[in-house]
Amino acid sequence: MKRIFTASILLASSLIAGAQPREWTLAECIGHALENNITIQQSAINVESKEVAVSSAKNRRLPGVSGSASQNFSFGRGLTADNTYANANTTSTSFSLGADVPVFSGLQNVHNIALGKLDLEAATADLEKAKDDIRVAVAQAYVQILYDMEIVEVAESQVDIDQMQVERLSEMAANGKSSRAEVSAQEATLAQSQLSLTQARNNLSLALLELSQLLELPSPEGFAIARPNADGIDDMLLMSPEDIYAEAVQVKPAIKSEMVRLAYADRNIKLAKSGYIPTISLNGGIGTNYYTSSGYASANFGQQARNNFSQYLGLSLNVPIFDRLQTRNQIRSAKLQKQNQELQVESVKKSLYKEIQQAYYNAVGARGKYLSSKVAAKSAQDAFELATAKYETGKSGITEFNESKTRLMSAESDLAKARFEYLYQSKLLEFYRGNDLVL
């Protein structure tokens, strides 16, 4: 049975005749998906956003500097310098420059910076988890294509065999050695085989479409995948779920992100407790003003700016005495969030262990199916060769031949499915251990 996938046949309606598409390996598919997947791009933007948040938290330790200027005009009756009222127009101009420095913020800045870093670390782990999800999705779609490719080849072989039998029976009927009814029956069998081939090709086209969409390709036209080397599949050994989990819990980003969020919740409690701590701030500034009043002589701008120049420096202490129990409730809320996050960590760990268990027993079952399918396919092949020999020598009829052929096609289909299922499940277990997902 042929083993080379020809996309010009499978996708003849969508490809240029005779064109051979470039075959993508699983590693190439995964790499392309990681670069172009929208969900991953959004997760990467979220990481950059968290980096900005960390920078903002650090910058809160810097002094704040601000300047101001004002211009005022007054018209009509007002109080004069000699404490009498008179009608006069006045103008005043003022300039000031001030700064404030957080000397001690009750450790709030320290905790906010730590929280920002933890938030960034969690977002980074979430990005890696999104990448892992894409890797698994691409691998699943890739394996489905491999299986569909095998089914197409089985269906093509079945059509070839049926076509040869139609031609053989037609020649025999022309020589009077076969009836027209036998030819018609075999033609019906050929038509059914062609229908199966059409359906298999359609399934393959849909599988290629699904993978191309995961890769964010504009079209599946010209897209094909390379067959992996399945040599050595019989010798693969499976680790126990417990051993795989012991390694997975240390490396999987899904666990890491939840552990980081647990550390975040613990730090958030400390931030809430800092509400009980006094804060100290230092502030200072300089300023001057210029003033004129109609009917009165006034010094020029430069002289007034020098005469009215002032400076100030202050140190303030804020001691929380009673804040309507807000700090206490914030601490209680932060502790509840930590308890909830602890449960979330346990839930994610259990989910991971269940996934590993499921993948392990799927691999064990796939291995059993694969070994049994190998024996069944070999037996079906031997039986088909025997049935073919008997049919060609006239010792059996077309019905027995077709039944033997159908059993062979079914056995080969089962073998193809079991082979790739076992290959995928075994590699998935390696992926849980932190290894690359490759076939």
pTM over the 0.85 mark: no
Please tell me the predicted confidence (pLDDT) of residue 88. Answer: 75
Please tell me the predicted confidence (pLDDT) of residue 22. Answer: 80
What's the pLDDT tens digit per position in 56-75? Answer: 999 999 999 999 999 998 88
**1 pLDDT above the threshold of 50:** no
Given a contact cutoff of 8 angstroms between Cβ atoms, the answer to whether 108 and 236 are in contact is no
Please tell me the predicted confidence (pLDDT) of residue 13. Answer: 37
> What angle is formed at CA 248 by the lines to CA 244 and CA 249, rounded to 5 degrees?
120
More confident residue, 230 or 289: 289
Please tell me the predicted confidence (pLDDT) of residue 391. Answer: 77
Please tell me the predicted confidence (pLDDT) of residue 181. Answer: 83
Domain ranges for the chain, please list them.
7-60+105-278+319-432, 62-104+279-318
Amino acid letter, 404: S
Given a contact cutoff of 8 angstroms between Cβ atoms, the answer to whether 380 and 408 are in contact is yes
d(CA 399, CA 379): 19
Q: How confident is the model at residue 20 (pLDDT cuts 50, 70, 90)?
A: low
Averaged pLDDT, 258-278: 96
**417 pLDDT above the threshold of 70:** yes
Please tell me the predicted confidence (pLDDT) of residue 83. Answer: 67
CATH number of 7-60+105-278+319-432: 1.20.1600.10
Residue partners of 322: CB distance under 8 A and separation at least 6 = none
Averaged pLDDT, 23-47: 94
Please tell me the predicted confidence (pLDDT) of residue 59. Answer: 94
**Least confident stretch, 233-242, 323-332, 379-388:** 233-242
Instruction: Identify the H or E element spanning 366.
Output: helix 326-392
What's the pLDDT tens digit per position in 389-409? Answer: 887 777 777 778 878 888 888
Please tell me the predicted confidence (pLDDT) of residue 4. Answer: 33
CB-side neighbour CA atoms (13 Å) of 40: 19
Please tell me the predicted confidence (pLDDT) of residue 416. Answer: 83
Residue partners of 119: CB distance under 8 A and separation at least 6 = 50, 53, 54, 264
What's the pLDDT tens digit per position in 107-164? Answer: 999 999 999 999 999 999 999 999 999 999 999 999 999 999 988 988 898 898 889 8
Q: Helix 398-432 crosses helix 326-392 at what angle (to 10 degrees)?
A: 150
**79 pLDDT above the threshold of 70:** no
**Least confident stretch, 56-60, 178-182, 205-209, 218-222:** 178-182
**86 pLDDT above the threshold of 50:** yes
Q: Which residue has the tokens 């502030």?
A: 283
d(CA 425, CA 106): 54
The token pair that represents 284 in the structure block? 């200072």
Beta strand pairing call for 77-79 and 85-87? antiparallel
Please tell me the predicted confidence (pLDDT) of residue 91. Answer: 87
